[in-house]
């Protein structure tokens, strides 16, 4: 055998179980990364103004925050439109040590992206986000002061901080569910809206009589004709108001298996390379685990 291993039956059993779990996990993530690579490469880029309703790819830049204004990153205090952070504490166990997460979070406020044709709101809830602005530093307290951003690791520093940011004016790649609101798109037909108005008015029948047939307990055919014409006029006015309202574009999580919401401040080529290399790394882990497992299997106890 290639490796000189001295293992009893129980140790070999647990080692084989570990190899099997590693193969399963690496296989899952390899196909996950490959699917994202294929989604990016196969989905054509759309323009915001003319994008079809559905799953689309947009390329532009971050052009501003949502209605609540710019965010402040909780660790560094930098202005941003999106953040994700993690705080870990160094734990000692005998002669070894490890990092244990004590706090984490991410923002879910909407922000805006733009291309040469328009502006689209981005809802980052549920998104897989890959950003360029990523920083790790160390400190002595759970919540770092903004002055300690350059803290490097030393044995005396008990906390590690990770912060990822998306800044205004950064380039943005987005893949998700696109829909347009306003501009009359969601308005029912005039006949349907007229019927809805009539049903709403009938809920307060005395007021309807007072308005169109004052002093009567029922409507004459002429009076009811006036009611239906008034409902038609109101439906027309509402439709016109909807037509004059601005169109709002929104990109969000499709919430469909196999169709993630991807956001990245890297360009498309770098993002494809990112997923390709991750898939290749997983393939390497599978090959290693298979080889090591075969060696274990063939090694006599």
Answer whether 0.85 is exceeded by the pTM. Answer: no
Contacts of 119 (CB under 8 A, 6+ apart): 48, 63, 112, 113, 249
Do residues 57 and 144 share a domain? yes
Q: Which domain holds residue 24?
A: 7-42+270-293
- Structure confidence at residue 227 (pLDDT): 86
Residue 250 inside a domain? The answer is: no
Residue 184 inside a domain? The answer is: no
Residue 156 inside a domain? The answer is: yes
Helix (H) or strand (E) holding 159: strand 159-166
Give the C-alpha distances (Å, rounded to integers) separating 51 from 64, 236, 249. 20, 28, 9
- Structure confidence at residue 213 (pLDDT): 79
Q: Count Cβ neighbours within 10 Å for each residue of 63-100 and write b for 16 or more, e otherwise.
A: bebeeeeebebbbbebebbbbbbbbbebeeeeeeeeee
Residue 253 inside a domain? The answer is: no
Do residues 198 and 140 share a domain? no
Do residues 161 and 207 share a domain? no
Query: Which of 123, 148, 179 is the last residue in one of the domains?
Result: 179
Do residues 77 and 194 share a domain? no
Contact criterion met (CB below 8 Å) for 34 and 279: yes
Which residue do the tokens 């239906």 mark?
Answer: 228
Residues of the chain with pLDDT under 70: 1-7, 145-156, 183-188, 215, 243-245, 300-301
Do residues 233 and 276 share a domain? no
């Amino acid at each position: 055998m290639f490796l000189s291993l001295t293992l009893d039956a129980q140790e070999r059993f647990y080692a084989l179980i570990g190899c099997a779990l590693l193969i399963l996990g690496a296989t899952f993530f390899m196909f996950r990364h490959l699917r994202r690579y294929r989604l990016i490469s196969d989905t054509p880029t759309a323009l915001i103004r003319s994008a079809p309703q559905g799953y689309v790819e947009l390329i532009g830049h971050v052009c501003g925050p949502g209605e609540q204004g710019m965010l402040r990153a909780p660790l560094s205090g930098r202005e941003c439109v999106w953040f994700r952070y993690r705080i870990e504490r160094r734990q000692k166990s005998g002669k070894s040590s490890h990092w244990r997460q004590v706090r984490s979070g991410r923002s879910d406020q909407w922000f805006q992206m733009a291309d040469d044709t328009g502006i689209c709101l981005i809802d980052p809830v549920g998104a897989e986000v890959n950003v360029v602005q990523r920083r790790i530093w160390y400190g002595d307290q759970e919540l770092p002061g903004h002055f300690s951003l350059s803290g490097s690791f030393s044995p005396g520093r008990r906390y590690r901080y990770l912060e990822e940011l998306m800044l205004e004016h950064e380039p943005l790649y987005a893949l998700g569910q696109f829909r347009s609101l306003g501009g009359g798109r969601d308005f029912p037909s005039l006949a349907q809206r007229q019927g809805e108005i009539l049903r709403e008015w009938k809920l307060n029948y005395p007021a309807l009589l007072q308005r169109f047939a004052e002093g009567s307990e029922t409507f004459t055919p002429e009076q009811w004709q006036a009611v239906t014409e008034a409902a038609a006029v109101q439906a027309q006015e509402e439709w016109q108001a909807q037509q004059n309202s601005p169109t709002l574009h929104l990109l969000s999580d499709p919430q469909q298996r196999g169709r993630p919401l991807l956001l990245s401040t890297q360009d498309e080529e770098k993002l494809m390379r990112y997923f390709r290399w991750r898939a290749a790394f997983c393939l390497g882990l599978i090959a290693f685990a298979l080889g090591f497992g075969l060696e274990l299997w063939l090694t006599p106890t």
